Structure 1
Amino acid sequence: MTWSDIGVNFTDKRLFFEPVFKRALTADVSHIIITGTNIDKSQQAVHLAQQYPHHLSATIGVHPHHANEFSDETLNELQNLANSKSVVAIGECGLDFNRNFSTPDQQLFAFEQQLKLACELGLPVFLHERDAFKAQVELLTKYRKTLKGGVVHCFTGDIEQMNRYLELDLYIGITGWVCDLKRGQTLREAVKSLPLNRILLETDAPYLRPKGLPNNHKVDNGNNEPAYLPFVAKEAANLMGTDLTTLKLASQANTQALFKIPTMSAGLAE
């Protein structure tokens, strides 16, 4: 049994695919889900995932920052992209009322359209939320009966928010934020109560490099990488009061259950 990183921004120019991918496999991170955040990056994610089907999958969607770009054309292209076997979720979608790069109304429209699409296609959702918890939960509740699950990507909230998401049958995505003893304290407390059957692990590379990770700038240029997922997992396991093997087994089972990934190969499979 190996590790899976459910959220990597391989379309970001800061990540040089070949060396980063090889370091991930060396670190026993055998499956990576590439995050799509708009149509262009979703297309790139699918194209890359198709080249390594045993190790890569993709999400397709429109991040709330890009909600002002959402149109009928966008919806049609997402439907077309979803025909690829590499696509395992709709997203990154959701609400971000912190920066409001798109207006709240634009975000609500784009998010609801993607929830409808996910229900229609029978795919889970890969969720983003910042300073919009109430509105996000209201929309998710509306579609809960027909939605095929989802994950709260890069969860940084408190135990009350976590429990509300769990009530909606969602998984919780844990990143290197859990390694931050100052900013991540609320999350660290919540993780102590996170059930093993609801945790998913991700790096959100090249972002959210874990605090306490040894300096390796000559290799990674200061970026986060999927190879560092075991570092995040170790901290999560400590907080949850379990051992690393148990967490590995649980997170892999959860990844397969939500995203319906049939096999996860160790090493490089052609």
Structure 2
Amino acid sequence: MQIKSKFRFFDIAANLTDDQFYGMYHHKKYHQPDYKDVMKRATDIGCEHLLIASGCLGDLKKARELCQLSPHYYTTAGIHPCRAAELNQNSQGYMEELRDQLELALKEKKLVAIGECGLDYDRLEWSTKEEQMIAFEPHFELAEKYKLPMYLHNRNTGDDFYNIVQKNRHRIVGGVVHSFTGPLDELQKILHLDLYVGVNGCSLKSQENIDVAKQIPLDKLLLETDSPYCEIRNTHASSKLVKTQFQAQKTEKWKEGQLIKSRNEPCKIIQVLEVMSELLKIDQDKLSEICFQNSLKCFGLV
């Protein structure tokens, strides 16, 4: 299936190192790796620019390889809060190897941000608050040393996230809070920190989400999919605003060149654009270009 568009997109959250793009679901192999098909569909839709985010050492190694497939693919270097326990098992050795991989990505001109890092209190079964706090702080040192923006994650953390970033804000050039799902007061705090805001399907799930998304200033808005997660589902309040539909097969019926049900892809960024265009009452052409340029600015690519 081929859907083309005239828009320019920069998906700032394409998790192409995820097992699902290699045919693995819940530790079971269903099909051959199809990430190259996924990349082609993204290109067809106008999404030639991808940020292949990494949240651990293994992700960064794999992301560096994927970035060689296009001059417009980039990556990040950091420890996702849900992976913070990995750092604390071997703190010194882990950080040394992460820095080595980070510097290789820098030499390759593929590293554009420090992260994914931050706090996530919704999934404390993966890493405790204490482990997350310990892992979060060193990222500011890295961002300051390499003069890179930060790629930030925040879920249900009260004022903890805001207080830490505010304390260190003078050390960093900027950044984005990606996959934003918070209430209006959280958005206002992010904007007070002069950070960008990444929006995907999870950002547009409920009517409350939609009401908050409308308040994101145009010059701070970035579009993303967070694929293979965070698609706009039929149960989402925003789904009625989606115009472009993709045919997809169940995992066990996968065929080469087909999308898979419930697995998000960068090509579906056009659906996020369609929703935000309706919410903000801005032409899709204009909005896609604004967000594309915002992404370049955020990651120092202009």
Shift of 1:78: 2.6
- Map of 2:232 onto structure 1: 210
Q: Structure 2 matches for 1:5-154, cutoff 5 A?
A: 5-15=11-21, 16-52=34-70, 54-70=71-87, 71-83=91-103, 84=105, 85-100=109-124, 101-154=126-179
1:253 is the counterpart of 2:284:
no
C-alpha displacement at 1:178, in angstroms?
4.2
Paired position in structure 2 for 1:188: 210
Q: 1:252 Cα shift?
A: 1.2
Structure 1 residue aligned with 2:279: 239
Is residue 179–residue 203 contact of structure 2 (8 Å, CA) maintained in 1?
no
Does the C-alpha gap of structure 1 residues 137 and 247 become closer, same or farther in structure 2, counting only changes over 3 Å?
A: same
The alpha-carbon deviation at position 139 of structure 1 amounts to 0.7
Which residue number corresponds to residue 236 of structure 2? none
Deviations 1:202-254, CA, capped at 9 Å, x for gaps: 00001112124636223211111100101111101211121112211211111
1:165 aligns with 2:187: no
Matched, 1:221 2:227: no
* Contact 2:179 2:198 (C-alpha < 8 Å) held by counterparts: yes
- Structure 1 residue runs without a partner (length 5+): 263-270
Distance 1:110 1:248 in 2: 35
Alpha carbons of structure 1 residues 244 and 45: separation in structure 2 relative to 1, 3 Å: same
When the two structures are superposed, what TM-score results if normalisation uses the length of structure 2?
Answer: 0.82
Offset, 1:51 = 3.1
CA distance in 2, matches of 1:178, 1:258: 19
Q: Could you say what the CA RMSD is over the residues aligned between the two structures, in angstroms? A: 1.5
Normalized against structure 1, the TM-score is what?
0.91
- Give the distance between the partners of 1:166 and 1:32, measured in 2 at CA: 24
Aligned partners of 1:243 and 1:187: how far apart in 2?
A: 21
- Give, in angstroms, the shift of residue 35 of structure 1: 1.1
Equivalent-residue separation in structure 1 for 2:186 and 2:86 (angstroms): 29
Moved over 3 A (4+): 212-215
Q: 1:7 aligns to what SS in structure 2?
A: coil
Contact 2:56-2:78 within 8 A present in 1 as well: yes
Matched residues, number: 258
Distance 2:79 2:227 in 1: 18
Residue 133 of structure 1: how far off its partner (Å): 3.7
The whole-number CA distance in structure 1 between the counterparts of 2:197 and 2:266 is 18
> Which structure has the larger Rg over C-alpha atoms?
2
Tell me the SS of whatever aligns to 1:129.
strand
Deviations 1:123-167 (A, max 9, x none): 111111111141111110011112111111100111111011011
> What percent of counterpart residues are identical?
33
8 Å contact kept, 1:178–1:235: no
CA contact (8 A) 1:60 1:89 kept: yes
2:93 counterpart letter in structure 1: E
Task: Give the Cα–Cα distance (whole angstroms) in 2 for the partners of residues 194 and 240 of structure 1.
Answer: 9
